[in-house]
Every structure is written in structure tokens, then in C-alpha cells.
Amino acid sequence: MGVVIVLALVAVLTALRTELPRTPGVMSDALGPENGEPVDDYLARAASSLRHDGEMVDDGELGDDGEDPATGADAHRWALVTAARPWSAAEAAAVVRSLPRVSGLYVQVPVDGVAMPVTGVTLAEPVSGESGREPVFDRGLDDVAHRLDAVIPTGPERPDGGQAPPDADRAAKAAALTAARIRSGEPAIIGLLARGTPAQLSNAAGRPSVRAVEALPPDAVWQRFAVRPLQPQQVDAAFPLPDDAPVPSA
């Protein structure tokens, strides 16, 4: 029983992570609001990030997509595309149709009074025969659901005789609810990690279903920046959400 409890707690920490896997070390760049940042301030900051400054881009710092070096408006940048409300896979694919690359997907099922998990997964490019990204996003959602399946309810005791974290069962219930609603087809994509030029990203930002697009400087390198998705229920400031209501049954 002790081994099961330890593995379950590790699964909670792994499945409920809110950032894509990234290289250890100092992260000088970040996407998403700072903790406690007013949402209106973040939205303004995100909009201003799409205005290029004409700086030269170093080809060696462009990441791993083999793009040619460019300057100013032609420089490709990593960006967080935030949903005005959770998207389905088809809706998300329509938003980023004109962007050359989408490498991450963030999922959350909003529930009033419950701090539901935000889970991120890395995405591959469409395979041969796929004309768009909807199948890629469907696979990403399926990946999230399978990860959350690993978060099983835990017993009250630890191997050392102490008590398990008081929120372990709550976290497991929230994970199960998220997985169930994803499988039922409920829209759950709250953000995408994409790459494009400022013009391409600005075009995506102009869509009615997009809440914000925040771009990093063109020298930002894949897996060397943090991501903090803006959650749909964060309307005033980017504080942790209330977590005092019962978790609905899955």
C-alpha cells in the first residue's frame, strides 16, 4: 500500500504540472501573466509585444525549426495564444491556421469554486495526409486525458505513518473530472504555444475567440522560457482561483 501511495502522489505532481517540459536552468523569458498581475495590464502588455523593434535576429538563437535569419517584422517569435473561452480542437485549429508552427497545448475545464488543473503537452507537427492541426490537437487532448488518468485517489496514510497531503484526493477528483469532460467533447483548450511573425500573430490576435497573443523576443529559444497560461476565470488579476467548492463527480 505504501508504494501505491507514493506512486500516486508522484502522478499528481506530474499530471497537474502547468508548464511544458523544459530544460533546467535560469529562465530569463516567460509567457503569461505574472502572479497577481492585473489582467487588463497583461492584455495591454501582450498586445505591445507584437510590435517589432527592428532588431537583428541571430540565426543561431532561432531554436530548432531551421528558419532563415530575419529582421523586424519578418522575425519568427514564440507566442502564447490565449482563448477567450475554452476551444474545441476544431476551433483551436481555425485560430492558428495561418501560423507555421504550434508546439504546445494547454488544457483546463473551468468549474466555479474549484481550482481546476492546467495541463500542458508538447505537440508534433501534422503527419502526412493531414491538412490541418485539428487531428494534432485531438491527439494532444487524448494525451492529457491519459496523463490525468494516472492521478488516482490516495489513502490517508503515508509509508512513514504520517498523513497524505490533505488535498491529494481533491486533486485526483479534479483530474478525473477534467479527463471525463475532455472525453465527452467539452471544449477545454485554453492556450496554445505557437510560432510566427508579428504580422501572423497579430492576425491571430484579431480573431473574436482570442483573448490575447503575447510574443517573446525573436532570440527566445525553445524550452528555455517559462509559460504561465492565463486562465478563463482570471478576469481581474492573475491570482490563484478560489478552491472552496466541492469537486463535481466525473
Residue spans of the domains in the chain: they are: 2-227
- Is the per-residue pLDDT at 157 higher than 80? no
Cβ atoms within 10 Å, residue 77: 23
CA-closest candidate to residue 150, choices 178, 127, 124: 178
Task: Give residue 25's pLDDT.
Answer: 47
pTM to 2 decimal places: 0.80
Q: Are strands 189-196 and 77-87 parallel, antiparallel or unpaired?
A: antiparallel
CA dist., res. 221 & res. 194, Å (int)? 13
Q: What is the pLDDT of residue 211?
A: 99
On the 0-12 / 13-18 / 19+ scale of CB atoms within 10 A, 249 is exposed
Query: 134 is written with which cell numbers?
Result: 485539428
What grid cell was written down for 219? Answer: 532570440
Question: E strands along 197-241, which residues?
Answer: 210-215, 225-227
Q: Is the pLDDT of residue 71 over 90?
A: no
Q: What does the CA dihedral 85, 143, 18, 162 come to, rounded to 10 degrees? A: 130
